[in-house]
Each structure stands twice: as structure tokens, then as C-alpha cells.
Structure 1
Amino acid sequence: MDDRPEPPAAGGVATASERGDSLTRQVGRAVIRTLRPPDDVLTTIESGQALQRPITTGRRIVLGSPRGEADGSVLTTLLALVFAHYRHDRVLAVDLVPDRRTLALRFGVRPQLSLADLAAGRVDADSFEQVESHLTHARDRVWLLPGAGSGSEGATLPPETLPNTVLPLTRFFGVTLIDRGPQSPAELDAATLAAAHAHVLVDTATREGAAGIGRAIDRMIAAGDDSVLARTVVVFVDRPSNEDRAFNFPGTADVLRDGGAAVFRLGHDRHLARTTTVDPRRLAEASRATAIRVAAEALRRSG
């Protein structure tokens, strides 16, 4: 992700100065940086190479938070920033939740148009330049399409939104991240899952979070997708304020990995926990490394 200073987006939301790492950890990290184990360095290099591999058609990665306890928009934003940093093609972030605007807040922008606006009409375009005016330029090489704008509380998107509006846009992007939120209408949810090249499921690092992930995977398999685990990345998010000491992460990860899924753990990050707009310069080092690995694995599993 880009560490260069970036001016706030026009009309954006101010970013708090809280850094993901404490001052003690920042100093300690600077001291040991030159002593990093070779395996850590190789993992970072390999992930970067995996993210830069050529793809012939755009990849659609669908993110979901089964119970809504973990904010999937944070991970969607982090992955978009990673892909935009390592790749040279465009990235599109789509929010399928009409009455939620958290993805726009995470990027610090106020979109003029939404997915609901586009779905109400029809966008016929033969080039990116023709569709760009319908999207919000969030960061360098990142465009955003929120579910809906203000005054859309309680609204729902019809199932034909995905094939008629979203999928035609994705051909102009190397990677499209689709945040389907915790719950979508059944028909829209089925259409979204069917269109996915890879899935990312995110929940809290708790027993309830593990159970939520398990139920979500069961539903996806029951929908007729026997190969879903081979295309799934699971991310457990630490929440120290509500830590579940009885949560057995190694055991849970082993079960999921035995089934074919990839599993990661995103540690507590003060910047992500206490601010609205994500500033990649202020992320904890561990958060940055985890986001890179998750993005690389999701892209690898997308085919």
C-alpha cells in the first residue's frame, strides 16, 4: 500500500491521527527491522509477486460478514488499497447494502451516484471513459460504487442488479471487490455468490464468530457450490475489548484448512478501531502484512 502522503479526497471525511501501532511498538519495530527472519521477508516478496501476476479477465472477489459483528467494509477497503498498490490495473469496490454507507466513509468520500441510481436506469458503455462518470474515484486506481445514497434507509436492491448493472462494469477492472454485507435478499445473495471467483468471509475471533463462519460455509455448499472451500479465505478479526479467551484459533483454523479454506487472523489495530477513514500510512505493521497476504491468497484462489 502506498505510504506517500495523500491529500484528503474532495468532500472527504477527516482522518484521525491515531496510529495502528503504539509508540513502543513503532520504536521496537524500527530496532528489529534489519533483523527480520528470512522467512518473513520471503513471505512478503512472494505475496507481492502473487499480487502482480497477470490475469486475462477481471476477477470478482465477494466479501461477507455472516453475523455483521465484524465490519467487512474495513477489510474491503484494505484489500482495495493493496490491489491498487501492487497492480497496475483498476480496482472497483462495490457495496451491495443500500442502507449502509460505511464503505464510502472508509475511503473518505461522498459519492454523488450509487448502485441504486445506476440500477434504476441502464448504463450501456463500450469503454471505461463512458462509465467513469457513474463511479466515485476514491484513491489512485480505486473506484467506488456504494449501494445507495442518503434517504435510502430500508431499501433493497433487486436480484437483477448484479447481472444487469454490476457485472457489465467489472470488465473494465482488474479486480472487483463486492461487499455483500451480513445479509442480502436471498435471490441477490445467490446471484452474487454465483458470480464470485473467490470468497472472503470475515468475523470476530470468538466462538460465535467461528460458528457464524461455519454456518455461512454450510449455506454456500447447500446452494450447490461444492467447490466453495477451495475458493474461500476466512479472516478472524481480534476485538480486545470483547476478547473470547475460550476461542481456540489454532483448532478452528485447522478444521477450516482441512476443508480447503485459507485462514488468517487480523490483529487489533488502533487506527482501524478508532477512526472512520482508513489511512494506509497509519496502519499497524501486522495489519498491513495480513492485508497483503489475504489479498494475495484471494487472488490466487480466484482462478
Structure 2
Amino acid sequence: MNARTETPTGTGARPGRHGDPVLRRIGRGLALPFLPSDHAAAHLARGEALQRAITTGRRIVVTRPRAGADEATVTALLASVFAHYRHDRVLTLDITPGSNSLARRLGVTPSSSLGEVARRRVSASSFEELTPHLARVRDRLWMLPAVHSGPDATALDAEAFQETLLPITRYFGVTLIDRGADVFDGFNRAAQASAHAHVLVAPATAEGAADIGRGFDWMTTQGDASLPERIVVVLVEQSPDEDPRFDHEGAAEVLRKSGAEVVRIGYDRHLAYTDGLQPRRLAASTHAAATTIALEALKRAVR
């Protein structure tokens, strides 16, 4: 799902390709009137749960144990779900230095950054003062990179997190922080430590699940045995039948014993062959999985 965000040369793939084949979309439309009433009731219940009132902004960090899993795509999916269901603002923040993966997935070109906000000492006394620095994605959804790449990039530290980012997040019901692997500066550590919930993204393979398991073991040895209870694990299938022998249900059962929830996102043609995410073109299974991840992450964030 992650590595092919640009259209592959010579494949004939079209921008905006649907995640589901046309016959599956037609069949789903024809079956809709015949679905049992409890199907609609369950959908409404999930929507109501995602709309729950939040007294103070919640921060959810989306990260990966190692390179090879696309946490930017999962962040964009969650942002779309929260912006669709919630009535307050949603902020997405990419804190991987020099990265534009999240901006591409959201289809925006940021003109500012958190580093610039800090450098200019922009007042956070009102949302209107911050608006010129935010990239608007759609209604209720905004995006901001931590720093731009280039010679004028401003390095951020833990102090910048406390003095710049935290005041900004109070204007948003949910802030999704996209944190790449192998970044351990003070700003990233502060973001990780302040998260109300975590989403860990790994490939839907035996090796990806093993990485998560080793991470949980490390947390236990560090005295953080309760941390997995605030984690949602997302196993992403990045190509059709990526690891045919991978026992997803078995791996999920083992990981859930730690207290974490585990959700799988199957291969989606729209995500594989399209740069900017278009929610209406996602596979139905991808939309359902993203909604489940958002709901589980929110549950953990408000505990």
C-alpha cells in the first residue's frame, strides 16, 4: 500500500483509481437495500462514538517500528475519518524532518511550518492568528509540517514542543502526529511521551507482527507494561497476498493479550496507485478498517 504512492511507469494506472473493482461496487450498491437493520444501527453507533465530546484536545501519535510501513497513509486515513464524523477541528502534524509524505497524501502544499511559527513567535491567543500558517485540507481538517526541508529549516526541540505545539493543539479536538521511524530528537521524544494514544503501523507480514511483539516485550522490560493498552496496532497489506502464509488472526490474538487492539488494512488499489487520498474511492474494507482504528484510538485517548 505504501511504496507505490506514485503511479508506476508503464502500468496504465489512472490517478484516482477506485480501491474496489467496478463489479464489487455495483454489487454492494445492489445489496444495500437488503442489508439487515442492525447493520445500519451498528454504523450509526460507531458514528456517535466518534462524535463523543472531548473537553481538552487529544493527541494521537502514529508511528512505525522501522522503515517500510507507511504511517503517513494511516495518518491521512484517520484524519479523514475524524474530520468526517467529528464537529470540532482536526489537525495533522508531520514531524518527520524534511518529509512531505503526509502532505502528498492529503493533497496539500503547506506554505508554513511549526518551525516557522516558533521562529516568528506567532501568538496562539486565537485560532485566527494561526490560520495563515495552516494548510486547509477540507472542512474541519488542517495540516502542518514540523519543519520544511532546506537551508532555512528550523530545528525543533522539546522546548518548542511545549511552547509552540501544545498551545496550538488546544484549538483542535484531535491532533494526529505523524512520527517516522528512527527519529529520536527531543521534539520527537516529547511528542511520543505526551500522546494520549498511539497507533503503531507495520506490514501485514510475520516479520511486521514480530517487530510489534518485540516492541511490546521491550516496553515490559522498561517498566511500561501498561503502555500497549493505549496502542492500536495496524497491520497493512502493501501488495496483494504480500505474505500468504502469515496468520493474521493468530498474530492478532497474541498481540491483543498485551492489551492492544489489532486492525488489518488489506491491499487497496486506490492507495497503491494514487498520490492524494480520495475517501470516496477507497475500498469499502479500507474505509471500515480506518473507522475501526479511529474509534479504538479515540477510546484509548479519552480513558
Distance 1:270 1:225 in 2: 38
| Alpha-carbon distance change, 68 to 47 in structure 1, aligned in 2, over 3 angstroms | farther
After superposing the two structures, state which structure 1 stretch, 193-202 or 242-251, moved more.
242-251
Distance 1:72 1:252 in 2: 20
| Alpha-carbon distance change, 32 to 92 in structure 1, aligned in 2, over 3 angstroms | same
CA RMSD across the alignment? 2.2
SS at match of 1:233: strand
Q: Give the share of equivalent positions with the same residue, in percent.
A: 49
Amino acid corresponding to residue 86 of structure 1 in structure 2: Y
- Deviation for aligned residue 1:148: 2.5
Distance 1:241 1:156 in 2: 39
Does residue 124 in structure 1 map to residue 123 in structure 2? yes
| Alpha-carbon distance change, 220 to 154 in structure 1, aligned in 2, over 3 angstroms | farther
Aligned to 1:11: none
SS at match of 2:158: coil
Which deviations, in whole Å up to 9, do the C-alpha atoms of 1:95-120 show, x marking residues without a partner?
A: 01122101111111111101222233
The question of whether the paired residues in 2 share the 8 Å contact of 1:237 and 1:265 is answered with yes
| Alpha-carbon distance change, 169 to 27 in structure 1, aligned in 2, over 3 angstroms | same
Aligned to 2:292: 293
Distance 1:160 1:227 in 2: 27
Does residue 271 in structure 1 map to residue 256 in structure 2? no
The question of whether the paired residues in 1 share the 8 Å contact of 2:201 and 2:233 is answered with yes
The question of whether the paired residues in 2 share the 8 Å contact of 1:97 and 1:156 is answered with no
Aligned to 2:9: none
Q: Structure 2 length as normaliser, TM-score?
A: 0.88
- Deviation for aligned residue 1:266: 0.6
How many residue pairs match? The answer is 289
**Residues 1-303 of structure 1 mapped to structure 2, 5 A cutoff:** 16-36=15-35, 40-151=39-150, 157-221=156-220, 224-241=223-240, 243-303=242-302
SS at match of 1:255: helix
Which deviations, in whole Å up to 9, do the C-alpha atoms of 1:211-257 show, x marking residues without a partner?
A: 22223334455555332111111111112356112211111111111
The question of whether the paired residues in 1 share the 8 Å contact of 2:82 and 2:90 is answered with yes
Aligned to 1:6: none
- Deviation for aligned residue 1:78: 1.0
| Alpha-carbon distance change, 187 to 150 in structure 1, aligned in 2, over 3 angstroms | closer
- Deviation for aligned residue 1:86: 0.7
Which deviations, in whole Å up to 9, do the C-alpha atoms of 1:44-71 show, x marking residues without a partner?
A: 2221111011111111011001112121
Distance 1:186 1:207 in 2: 30
| Alpha-carbon distance change, 134 to 216 in structure 1, aligned in 2, over 3 angstroms | farther
Distance 1:168 1:108 in 2: 26
Amino acid corresponding to residue 32 of structure 1 in structure 2: A
Distance 1:216 1:156 in 2: 28
Q: Structure 1 length as normaliser, TM-score?
A: 0.88
- Deviation for aligned residue 1:207: 1.2
Distance 1:250 1:172 in 2: 39
| Alpha-carbon distance change, 274 to 85 in structure 1, aligned in 2, over 3 angstroms | same
Distance 1:153 1:233 in 2: 36
Amino acid corresponding to residue 290 of structure 1 in structure 2: A
| Alpha-carbon distance change, 228 to 132 in structure 1, aligned in 2, over 3 angstroms | same
| Alpha-carbon distance change, 45 to 222 in structure 1, aligned in 2, over 3 angstroms | farther
Distance 1:121 1:220 in 2: 38
Which deviations, in whole Å up to 9, do the C-alpha atoms of 1:160-180 show, x marking residues without a partner?
A: 332222111100100000011
| Alpha-carbon distance change, 102 to 35 in structure 1, aligned in 2, over 3 angstroms | same
- Deviation for aligned residue 1:39: 5.5
Which deviations, in whole Å up to 9, do the C-alpha atoms of 1:14-41 show, x marking residues without a partner?
A: x922001011211221222233355544
Amino acid corresponding to residue 268 of structure 1 in structure 2: Y
| Alpha-carbon distance change, 195 to 258 in structure 1, aligned in 2, over 3 angstroms | same
Distance 2:124 2:154 in 1: 27
Q: Which consecutive residues of structure 2, in runs of 5 or more, have no partner in the other structure?
A: 1-13
SS at match of 2:277: coil
